[in-house]
Chain A
Amino acid sequence: MPIQIGLGISSEKDPLLAARDAVRLARANLLTQKFSLALVFSTVDFAHPTVLKTVHGLLGETPILGCSSFGILSNQRIFRSGLAVMLLSLPQDVCLNTACVRQISAKQALVSGEELGEKLLLGFKSVRRALGVIFSDGLMRDSTGLLAGIQEKLGISFPLAGACASDNLAFKKTFLYANGEVLNDAACGMLWGGKLNYGLGIRHGWKPLGKPRTVTRASGNTAYTIDMRPAAQIYQEYLGMDLARLRKELKRISILYPVGVNFAEGEYFLRNILSIEDNGALVFQGNIPAGAAIRMMIGTKESCLNATRQAMEEAKRGLGGAHCNFVLVFDSVSRHIILGRQAGRELEILREGFGRDTPLIGIYTYGEEAPLRAINYQGKAYFHNQSIAVLGIGG
């Protein structure tokens, strides 16, 4: 029997009513009453402990995993306010473990990643591991460290997909959901094993522009110098603006012209700028190593939509023609801003690609994790910005 899915989304204004409504709909859409996991995603107006307690109370001991988001994508429409509950009933040959790590900032991100990896591995000694899915706090500085920690335990090339929770673009607080709890400064994940068929595609659609540059001094997610000059100068030169104006327009510029970190085989992953320090250093949303070859990147709404199409096609190729039971989408919030009124077209591409009736749930993220395509990187997952990760899961 394939994986059974029951999806319920409510946009009731009252959070408690929404919780009850979403669970009721999810249950009604699920053919069986036995379920192994509940994925819960909500906009920040529903990120409330009472909501999670209600969902938890209604679902009993079923593990709950999820996070807050700027909006919710579904095969119905995009919800700018709502609560989604996806119930999963797994066949006997597919197994799953969920785990959670808290107070990341008090430990090192790397250590927290290792802890999460270890917890996820519990009970998986005699089972073939297939895929890991991670949700983490969107305001965490060292997402790369967390990912590295997980890879340390699960294996460097172990396939991972992940998303950083988001809020309503206030960048104030993002929320993780683990069973009946609402958490900050945390990460949680699920490890799938057994006979699982899946396909994963990640794309951004941005193209390199201008001369290749080299990060000459960097630490963590801060690049101090590029080509031996203060890092911000590269943006000042390209856009012909002083530092003050650059700071003022940073949010827009960061989304329109992210930095592309060049890996082999012409593949780039993107980095958005979070802030500019007084010494001209650029603080990125994700690590950037010293010596990295970087380019300025440019794109359009059309290239954004093409990336969605490509990610979807790649996920479908990964499924090898098998039926897709459900789709998980981790879509950068920046892409939503760029697409603006055309955000619906992106969802339409996914719906057309996977079939309108295939259950689809997605969130807008502050960072995405997925493997690069390049063969040299042997499927190693990286932390991305401004990308769309599409995960199709079959039986």
Chain B
Amino acid sequence: MFSVDFMINILGIISFLTIILLVITLFFKIEQMKTLQASFNKVKKQLDEMDEQAKLIMRTDLELNKTQEELDKKISGLYALQKLSRSIASTLEESQIFNMVDPARLAELGFEKACAFLWDDAQKRFLPQINIGFLAEEIEAIKNLVRAEKDKFLALIKSEKTFSSLSGLDPVLREKIKATGKVRAFVISPIMPKEGESGFLCVGTEDPDFFINEGDEELITILANQLGQTIENARLFEKTWRAQQDLEKKVEERTHELSRLLDEVKAISKRKTDFISSVSHELRTPLTSIKGYAAILLAEKLGKLPPEIRERLEKINRHSDELVHLVNDLLDIARIESGRMLMKKEPQELKELVATVEDLLGVQLKQKQIRFEADIPAEAQKILADRSQLERVFINLIGNACKFTPEKGRIGVAARKTDGSVQVDITDTGCGIPEEALGAIFEEFYRVDNAINQELKGTGLGLALVKHIVEAHGGKIWVKSSTGAGSTFSFTIPSG
């Protein structure tokens, strides 16, 4: 069939073809591997690039986080400081101020330990005010340090600067504070009220990761200033309070004294009123008899009277009338003062009342040719008064005006409505009242020393009675006058 050579040749050809095929396959595989290697390298490169990007992201993120932390720390610090300030400012008791420093708020500022001392000038030493977070033995050690280094602490206060474990402070003192208070970082700031003794606040932390910066120093400075301000306010308040207490005590003493004097005056006044009332009553009985007998004699019921006796009797009668008038006025004043005379306040027409008085005094006005003018507008018409008593007021005031106004003078009555009352002004063109007499004119038995008064008789009770009647109506009376310029008597009366 097939020779061996032929078979060998065939196998050789097949082998050759196989080798070629393998070579071709290998070539393609190598190409594929190259492609895969290229892809792998590409992916690896991309992964490396992404890793580099990741590094960038992490570094940026770290920076961002640090900034955020700083910002958060500042915001939290300010927030805690605001709360602390509010809490501290809520008291005005100096002994309570340091107790208002809340450890939780202080921790929000990053400090878990705090102490404060105030200088006592009398004892020449620092007095501890607060201990937050220090163990008993630690605070004792701090007290000893402050005692031993008091000059350095006083110098620190005097410098008015804030120091920290970071900067500024004498290195020996800094290390002593750190070792004594067992703190890794601290801030110390003077407390300086404007008045009184100063001191210092020291805050610290054991946290090894806490790094003090200027922001922390600023926050503690603000806190120390707030403490100083509150101490100052408390001291000022204490001072003001004491002054007020003294003043109140003095006012109380004076009030007590015045009250006692007023009671005395009231008692005297009552005795006077009682006396006047009693005497007046006692006088009126014999006066009535005298007047009665004088009238009988003057009526010549007991026989004709010689002219000299009649003249004398008429004098007795006239003087008796004056005396009765005086006694009646005194009795009225006494009644009003003692509250026994009640004002029967009823609606009255002012214009009509004034017209009645004008009629009553018409003769005197006519005799002296005095012009009488009444100006009472409609809105001031209605008043609430005891008619007979108010008539007495007008009779007295217009009568006085008539008495002191020279011939052809003028008397005016004007009224106007004021708040809830009517003000009446009675003006004359008389001789006026000297300034020094104005204050006493409404007093009982006071008479202005002038020529008219010396000539014309009067009781000195008229204006006093007028004042009592006006006041019994709930009104006021006053006068404006000066010598030679006439007078204006004004009073108020409730409107109707």
Q: Which of A117-125, A132-140, A235-243, A360-368 is near enough to bind chain B?
A: A235-243
- Contact (Cβ within 8 A) B54 A239: no
User: Contacts A251-B209, A341-B75: A239 and B59 contacting too (C-beta < 8 A)?
Assistant: yes
**Could you write out 20 A-B pairs with CB less than 8 Å apart?**
A169-B207, A209-B54, A210-B50, A210-B51, A210-B54, A210-B55, A238-B54, A239-B55, A239-B59, A240-B55, A240-B59, A252-B65, A253-B62, A256-B61, A257-B58, A298-B58, A340-B69, A340-B72, A340-B76, A341-B75
**Nearest residue in A to B52 (C-beta to C-beta)?**
A210
Q: Check B104 for interface membership: any CB of A closer than 8 A.
A: yes
Give the shortest distance, in Å, between A175 (CB) and chain B (any CB).
19
Q: How far is the CA of A211 from the CA of B61 in the complex (A)?
A: 17
Give the nearest-CB partner of B53 in chain A. A210
Is B47 at the interface (CB under 8 A from chain A)?
yes
Distance between Cα atoms of A238 and B56 in the complex (Å): 8
Chain B residues in 8 Å Cβ range of A237: 55
Q: CB distance B72 to A211 under 8 Å?
A: no
- Within 38-86 of B, Cβ neighbours of A (below 8 Å) are at 47-48, 50-51, 54-55, 57-59, 61-62, 65-66, 69, 72, 75-76
Q: Which residues of A contact B69 (CB under 8 A)?
A: 252, 340
Q: Which residues of B contact A209 (CB under 8 A)?
A: 54, 57-58
Query: For the complex, would chain B's binding face be called helix, strand, loop or mixed by DSSP majority?
Result: helix
**Which A residues from 43 to 82 make CB contacts under 8 A with B?**
80-81
Q: Are the CB atoms of A341 and B54 closer together than 8 Å?
A: no
A residues near B (Cβ < 8 Å) are 80-81, 169-170, 209-211, 237-240, 251-253, 256-257, 296, 298, 340-341
Q: Please measure, in the bound complex, the distance between the C-alpha atom of A296 and the C-alpha atom of B56, giving whole angstroms.
A: 13
- The count of chain B contact residues (Cβ–Cβ below 8 Å) is 22
Q: Nearest Cβ in chain B — how far from A237, in angstroms?
A: 7
Give chain B residues whose Cβ lies under 8 Å from the Cβ of A251: 209
Closest CB pairs A-B (n = 5): A210-B54, A211-B51, A209-B54, A238-B58, A210-B51
**Cβ contacts under 8 Å, A239 to chain B:** 55, 58-59, 62
Chain A residues with CB below 8 A from B76, complex form = 340-341
Knowing A211-B47, A240-B59 are in contact, say whether A296-B54 is a contact too (CB < 8 A).
yes
Please tell me which one of the listed residues A170, A211, A252, A298 contacts residue B57 in the complex, with CB atoms under 8 A apart.
Answer: A298
The docked-state distance in angstroms from the alpha carbon of A252 to that of B63 is 12
Which chain A residue has the least Cβ–Cβ distance from B72?
A340
Chain A's closest residue to B75 (CB) is A341
A340: chain B residues within 8 A (beta carbon): 69, 72, 76
Count chain A CB atoms within 10 A of each CB in B61, B62, B72 and give the residue with the most: B62
Select from chain B the residue with minimum beta-carbon distance to A248. B209
Known interface pairs A209-B54, A210-B55, A296-B54; 15 further A-B residue pairs with C-beta atoms within 8 A, sorted by A's residue number: A169-B207, A209-B57, A210-B51, A210-B54, A211-B50, A238-B54, A238-B59, A252-B65, A252-B69, A296-B58, A298-B57, A298-B58, A340-B69, A340-B72, A341-B72
CA distance A251 to B61 in the complex (A): 16
Q: How far is the CA of A81 from the CA of B72 in the complex (A)?
A: 21
Given contacts A211-B51, A340-B72, contact A298 B61 (CB under 8 A): yes
Interfacial chain A residues near B58, Cβ < 8 Å: 209-210, 238-239, 257, 296, 298
A147 vs B392: C-alpha distance when bound (angstroms): 114
Listed residue (A237, A238, A240) with the most chain B CB atoms within 10 angstroms of its CB: A238
Provide the B198-209 mask, 1 if CB < 8 A to any CB of A, else 0.
000000001101
Chain B residues lying within 8 Å of A80, measured Cβ to Cβ, are 104, 107
Q: Cβ of B104: which chain A residues have Cβ within 8 Å of it? A: 80-81
Contact status B55-A238, CB under 8 Å: yes
Nearest CB on B from A4, distance (A): 33
Complex CA–CA separation, A257 to B104 (angstroms): 29
Select from chain B the residue with minimum beta-carbon distance to A81: B104
Residues of chain B in range 459-489 having any CB-CB distance to chain A below 8 Å: none
Q: Looking across the interface, which residue of chain A has its beta carbon closest to that of B206?
A: A170
Q: Give min CB distance, B484 to chain A, whole Å.
A: 86
Alpha-carbon distance between A256 and B57 when the two chains are bound, in angstroms: 13
- Bound-state CA distance A119–B66 (Å) is 47
With A and B bound together, what is the CA distance between A298 and B57 in angstroms? 9
Name the A residues within 8 Å of B75 (CB-CB).
341
Specify the chain B residue showing the minimal Cβ separation from A250: B209
A256 touches B72 (CB 8 A): no
CB-CB < 8 A to B51: which residues of A?
Answer: 210-211
Could you tell me the distance between the alpha carbons of A238 and B59 in the complex, rounded to whole angstroms? Answer: 7
Which residue of chain B has the shortest Cβ distance to A251 in the bound complex? B209
CB distance from A340 to the nearest CB of B (A): 5
